[in-house]
Structure 1
C-alpha cells in the first residue's frame, strides 16, 4: 500500500516537471541547431542576436526574484529590437522571448510596438511567429486600458452560474499560476491616462481591422487566434495566454470579467451579425478554425448580451447543428427520366428488392444530426451547453438529444456532450426524461469505460434532487449486487469504488479506487437518504477502509461522509469510533493524514481526546513521516503527553476564541 502511495507521488512530480522538461528540451534543441548555423525558424537573424536571445531564455528559465527584475529585463530586451521589431518578432526564438516579456515593458516600448505593428497588420496576422506577439499585445493592451478598477465582482460576473455546479475547492490552473504576476502588474500598475488611452485605441484598431477583413482571416490559422483574443477583449473577458501553450477547454469557466466601453461592445456585436449573414454559415461548426471562432463569440456574448447569445445560439442550432449528413449513396443517386414501360418494370424490380431486403431489416438505425459526426462541432456544442440560458438549453436538449441519449452516451466522440448536458440541465422534468433514457444503459457504459457519464448522471440526481433512490438501485443492478442477495449487497461499496461488477471485484485485492467511483460515492453520501451506503461503509472491514482512505481518490470519501447534512450525528460518531486503532496508520501517509484531520474536526471532545491519545501512544511512528509530524504539531500531541488536562483546557480556549471571532463583527 505504501509503495502505491509513493508511486502516485512520483507520477504527480513527473507531471509537474513535464513543462520544465519541455522548455529545457526547447533550449537544448535551439542551441544544437545554432551549431549547425540554423538560428530558429522564420526570419534569419545573425549569430550575435541569436545567442543574446538564447541567453535571455536561459535567464528566464531560472526565474526572477521579483517583478521589478523582470521589468528591467523586459525593457532592456525591447530596447535591442529598435527599428527591427517586425523582423525579429518573425523569428521563432525571438518571438518566444518577446511574447513572454511584453507584459512587463514600460509604456514607451509598448507604444513603439503598437505603432510599428499597426502599419503592418496584414502580413503580421498571417505570420506564424509575429502573430503570437500581436495576440499577446492585444491582451496586454486590454489589461492596461481597463485596469483593476474595471474588474467585475464574482457575483456580478457569474450571475447565472449555479454554485452547486462548481467544485468546492477548484485547483488553480497552470496558466493562472504562470500569468498571475503579469496580470496583476498590468491591471494594478499606475499607468498614465494617455498610455491607457493608447492601449484602448490599439484594441479597438486591431478589432476593427480584423472585422473589416473577416473573409481573409476566418480560415487563417494565425489570424484566427488573434481574432479570438480580440473578441474576448472587446467583451471584457480575460483568459491568460502563455507563450506557446494551448488554451484550455474550460475557457468559459476559468475567466475574469471586466467592464468595457460601449464602443467596444458595438464592435463586438458586429462579428456575429456579419458572420450569420454568410452563405457558408451552416458549415462553420464543421471546420476547426471557424468552429472555435463561433465558440469564442458565444462566450463573449454570454458576458455581454444574453439576448444576442440566444439568437445566435438558436441560429447555430437550427441552420447548422440540425443538418443530417448524407450518405455517399444518397449523394451519388441520380435522377433519370424513364419511358412508361421502363418506369413500370423499374417499379416491379424495386418492389421485389424491397420485399427481399425487408426480411433482413430488423429495426431502423437512428440517424444522428451532423453535429455529432465531427469533433469540432461537438466541442462547439459543449461550449454552447455550458453557457446557454434555460430556454436555449431546453431547445438544445429537445432537438439534439431526445431519443438519442443511449446511443450518444456510448459513442467515443459524443459521450462528453452528454456529460455536459447532465452537468448543466436545470429543468426537473427534462432531467427525469434524460435519466429514464440512460438508466438501463449503466452496465453497458461501465463495460465500455464511459464511467464519466454514470458519474455525471448520479451528480445530476444530487444537484436536481430527483431519481436518487432509482439511481442507487440501477447501480446495484449494474454491479451485480442486488438488494435481494444479502451476501452480495455487502460488497456494494467495494464494487462502487472500483466500478467493477461483484464477480471481478471479489477477486481484486488491489488498493485501486476509481476516480469516478469515488465521486459517485461522494454524491450518494450527500443524497437525501444515504443510509444504505452508510451501512455498507460501516460493514466494510476497518483494515480495508484504511487501504481505501490512503489513496488520493479514496480519501475524499471521508469528507463527504462527515460533511453530509443527511448523515446523522450517531452515524458520524460510529464511523470515527470504527476507525480507532488505525489513526496512526492513516496519519503517517499523505492522503490518510487528510482523513485523520477531517475526523478530528468532526469529532466530539471525548473522541478528539481518544484520537490524540492513540497518536501519543505511538509518537515515534507518527514522527517518522512529514505528514505525521504535521499532525503531531497541529493536534499538540506533545502537550497531551505532558498533561491531558492542560490539552483539554487549550482545546476549550481555542473554541472560545473561534466563537468570539465569529461574532465580533455582529457585536461591534
Structure 2
C-alpha cells in the first residue's frame, strides 16, 4: 500500500504497549530494572481491540490505492479524504488501532479540510484515552494534532481548532494519569501541550535528555540561562487552555504524583508542562510544590517546600526520571522558589549529590542557574575545595558548571582559577602542564604515573576539559597567568595537533580571543608558522587561521597570507575557504603585495582613530601602539559590538541635555569634517563544520558548529 513506515519510539516494545511502564532509562541510555513500586502502582492496559469488518477494511484499502496510486489535485484530494472520514464515523477506535488501516487514516487526516479534521477528533472524544494509549492509535492522534497546527496558519480556523482542543482536553483531565505514564499516551499529551504552548509538535526534540550539548549551551552565555531562556519568548497559541490542561491534570494526579515523577513517561509530561509555563511565575509557585509532593495548606512565600518533603527529595535525585524533572524545575523556578529549594534541599549536600550518577546532573543545573553571588558563596563552600575529588570521580561537568558560574556572576573567579590549576598541577610542578592535563582529563586522572602524563599520543581531547579552558580564558588576564604560560609553552607540533582537533582548536581560539596581551598571543601564533596553508584547508584549522590573523602583527599577517597563496584553489573547494580568501584578500596579496600592505595599514589606522575617539577611556593610553593590539583583548566582533553599544548609551544620555536634533547635526558634521568612515563590523561566518560553540559569544551562538 506504500504506507508510511512505523515510527519506533524510545522504550517501544513491538508487542506490549505497557512494557515501558516500570523501567527507567539511565544516563547512559540503557534501561535499569523496573522500580517495584512502579510496577505495583501503574495499571496495565486492558483494552482489547475489535477487528474491523471485512467490508470496511476493503473500503479503506481501495481508498488508500486511490490516494496513493495516482496524482490528485489538492481540492479533489480533500473531498476524497473528507468522505472517507465520514465513513469512519462510529468506527474510529477500531480503525485507529488497526495497524494497517491506521496508516491510511494518517494520510486522510493530513489531506482533509480542517472541518473534517476537527470532526474526526470530536468523534474520538469518548474513546480518546484508548486511542492515545494504543501503539497505532497514538500515531493517528499525533498526526491529527500536527495537521491542526498546520491549519492554525489560517487565523480563521483558530476558533474551531480551540473548541476541538478544549473538548479533547476535558476528556483527558477526567483520568489523565493512565495516559501520562503510558509510553504512547505520554507522547500524545506532550504533543497536545506543545500545540497549546505554541512550540513545534516534536516532544522528543523539544524535550531531549541532558547531554554534553546541553552543558555547552549552559556555558555559552554570560547571562543567567534562565533569564536568557528562549521559552520566555514563546507566543502561546492557547494560553488559557494550556493553563487549564496542566492545572487540571496535576490536580487529578496529585495522589499519584509520587509514582509519576519517578516514571519515565510521567516525568516527561511534567517536564514539558513546566517548560511551557516558564513565564508564568505565579502558576509555577502553585504547581511545583504539588509536583514535589507538598500540600497546598498553609503554603506561603518562603514556606512552599515543607520540611517533611525535603527529607524525601534528596534520595529521589538518584532516580533518572526525577533528576531530569528537578533540572527543569531549577531552570524555570522563580527566584523565590529557587532560593527556597537551594537553602532547604541542596545546601550542604552538593558534594554527596555530585558523587551520584544522576544527582551530579542536578548539581550542574543548580549551579548553572544560580542567580546571586550569595548563592555562589554557599556553592563555593561546598565544592570549591573539592575540584580534584570531582575530577577523580569523573564529575568534570560539575567543575565546568562551577567555573562558568563563577565567571558569569563574577564571584570567586581568582579562587576558582587557582583551585582548578591546583587540581591538575602540584605545587612543585611547572605550570606548563596545566592546559595539557585539562585537555586530556580522562587520560590524566586514569593514569597511574601522573607525573609523566603530559601529552599522550593519539588520544582524543576531552570535550568538557575544552569547555573548562574556554571559560577560563574569558576570565580577567591577571587571574589566568598560569594558564597563559602553559598554553604558550606548548611545542609547535602540539599546537598544530590541537588546531586540528575539534576540542583543542576551540581552546586555541579562546586564548586568541582572551584578555592576554598581543605579545603572548603572537608567541602562540608563531608556533604555527609554516602550517597556515595546511590548516586553512582543514575543516577545523581554518577557524584557527582566522583567529591567528586577527591576533597577529603586520609582519605575521603577511606571513599567514603568503602561505595561503599556494592553496587558493583548494580553499575555494572548502566551506570556510571563500570567506578566508575574501577576508585576508589573498588574491590581492598575490597580485600586488605592496598595495595589500598599504590597505592593511590604512585599515589599522582607521580602526585606531575610531577606537581612540569612541573607546573606553581607560584603554586610550599612549602605551597602546596600535588599535589591533587593543582590540585583540577581545575578539574583534565582540570589541566592536561593545564599542557601538557604549556609543549608543552615550548618545542616549547626552540627548536630553542638548536636544536630539542638535546632537545629530553635530555628529554628522564631525564625521563629515574628519572624513572618517564607520568601519564595518566583521561578518560572522557560519561554523557548521565544527562542534559545540565559541563560549561567551552570544552572537556566534547563531553560527555554532555542529559536531
Shorter-chain TM range is: 0.5 to 0.7
Residue 248 (structure 1) aligns with:
208
Distance, in Å, in 2 between the alignment partners of 1:247 and 1:101 is 29
Distance, in Å, in 1 between the alignment partners of 2:567 and 2:149 is 58
The runs of 5 or more residues in structure 1 that have no matched partner are 1-19, 31-40, 60-67, 146-186, 326-365, 664-668
- 1:70 to 1:374, Cα distance in 2 relative to 1, 3 A: farther
Distance, in Å, in 1 between the alignment partners of 2:375 and 2:293 is 20
Judge conservation of contact 1:81–1:88 (CA < 8 Å) in 2: no
Distance, in Å, in 1 between the alignment partners of 2:102 and 2:554 is 61
Residue 518 (structure 1) aligns with:
466
Which of 375, 379, 382 is the matching residue for 2:324?
Answer: 379
Judge conservation of contact 1:42–1:129 (CA < 8 Å) in 2: no
- What CA deviation, in whole Å up to 9, does each residue of 1:101-157 have, x standing for no partner? 856754355344334434643432333322332234335435644xxxxxxxxxxxx
Distance, in Å, in 2 between the alignment partners of 1:511 and 1:462 is 29
Describe how 1:153-168 pairs up with structure 2 within 5 A: none
Q: Secondary structure of 2:124's partner?
A: helix
User: Could you tell me how far 1:494 is from its partner in structure 2?
Assistant: 0.6
Judge conservation of contact 1:550–1:592 (CA < 8 Å) in 2: yes
Distance, in Å, in 2 between the alignment partners of 1:403 and 1:578 is 47
In the alignment, structure 1 residue 127 sits paired with structure 2 residue 134? yes
Distance, in Å, in 2 between the alignment partners of 1:637 and 1:441 is 50
- 1:422 to 1:456, Cα distance in 2 relative to 1, 3 A: same
Describe how 1:211-610 pairs up with structure 2 within 5 A: 211-214=173-176, 217-234=179-196, 236-241=197-202, 247-249=207-209, 257-260=234-237, 263-264=240-241, 267-268=244-245, 270-271=247-248, 274-275=251-252, 278-303=254-279, 305-317=280-292, 319=294, 369-479=314-424, 481-486=425-430, 489-499=431-441, 500-501=444-445, 502-503=450-451, 505-506=453-454, 508-528=456-476, 529-564=479-514, 566-603=515-552, 606-610=555-559
Distance, in Å, in 2 between the alignment partners of 1:298 and 1:401 is 20
TM-score, normalization by structure 1: 0.67
Distance, in Å, in 2 between the alignment partners of 1:123 and 1:83 is 20
- 1:50 to 1:453, Cα distance in 2 relative to 1, 3 A: farther
Distance, in Å, in 2 between the alignment partners of 1:58 and 1:562 is 60
- What CA deviation, in whole Å up to 9, does each residue of 1:529-572 have, x standing for no partner? 333212211111122111011011112123322333x3334433
Q: Secondary structure of 1:527's partner?
A: coil
Distance, in Å, in 1 between the alignment partners of 2:252 and 2:551 is 57
Residue 665 (structure 2) aligns with:
none
Alpha-carbon RMSD: 4.5
Distance, in Å, in 1 between the alignment partners of 2:357 and 2:335 is 27
User: Could you tell me how far 1:584 is from its partner in structure 2?
Assistant: 1.8
Distance, in Å, in 1 between the alignment partners of 2:377 and 2:385 is 13
User: Could you tell me how far 1:228 is from its partner in structure 2?
Assistant: 3.4
The structure that is helix-richer by fraction is 1
Which of 170, 177, 197 is the matching residue for 1:208?
Answer: 170
Q: Secondary structure of 2:540's partner?
A: helix
In the alignment of these two chains, the number of paired residues is 531
Distance, in Å, in 1 between the alignment partners of 2:247 and 2:100 is 36
Q: Secondary structure of 1:490's partner?
A: helix
- 1:302 to 1:192, Cα distance in 2 relative to 1, 3 A: closer
Residue 360 (structure 1) aligns with:
none
Q: Secondary structure of 2:386's partner?
A: helix
Distance, in Å, in 2 between the alignment partners of 1:561 and 1:143 is 47
Which of 144, 148, 155 is the matching residue for 1:141?
Answer: 148
User: Could you tell me how far 1:631 is from its partner in structure 2?
Assistant: 3.9
Distance, in Å, in 2 between the alignment partners of 1:554 and 1:371 is 37
Distance, in Å, in 1 between the alignment partners of 2:251 and 2:8 is 44
Task: Give the structure, 1 or 2, with the largest relative contact order (CA under 8 Å, sep 6 or more).
Answer: 2
Judge conservation of contact 1:142–1:200 (CA < 8 Å) in 2: no
Judge conservation of contact 1:324–1:369 (CA < 8 Å) in 2: no
Q: Secondary structure of 1:412's partner?
A: coil
Distance, in Å, in 2 between the alignment partners of 1:626 and 1:216 is 51
User: Could you tell me how far 1:421 is from its partner in structure 2?
Assistant: 0.8
Judge conservation of contact 1:314–1:392 (CA < 8 Å) in 2: no
Judge conservation of contact 1:496–1:517 (CA < 8 Å) in 2: yes
User: Could you tell me how far 1:519 is from its partner in structure 2?
Assistant: 0.4
User: Could you tell me how far 1:397 is from its partner in structure 2?
Assistant: 1.8
Deviates more, 1:216-225 or 1:45-54: 45-54
Residue 659 (structure 1) aligns with:
678
Q: Secondary structure of 1:238's partner?
A: coil
Residue 39 (structure 2) aligns with:
none
User: Could you tell me how far 1:416 is from its partner in structure 2?
Assistant: 0.8
Judge conservation of contact 1:323–1:370 (CA < 8 Å) in 2: no
Residue 178 (structure 1) aligns with:
none
Distance, in Å, in 2 between the alignment partners of 1:71 and 1:440 is 70
TM-score, normalization by structure 2: 0.64
Deviates more, 1:265-274 or 1:405-414: 265-274
Judge conservation of contact 2:109–2:117 (CA < 8 Å) in 1: yes
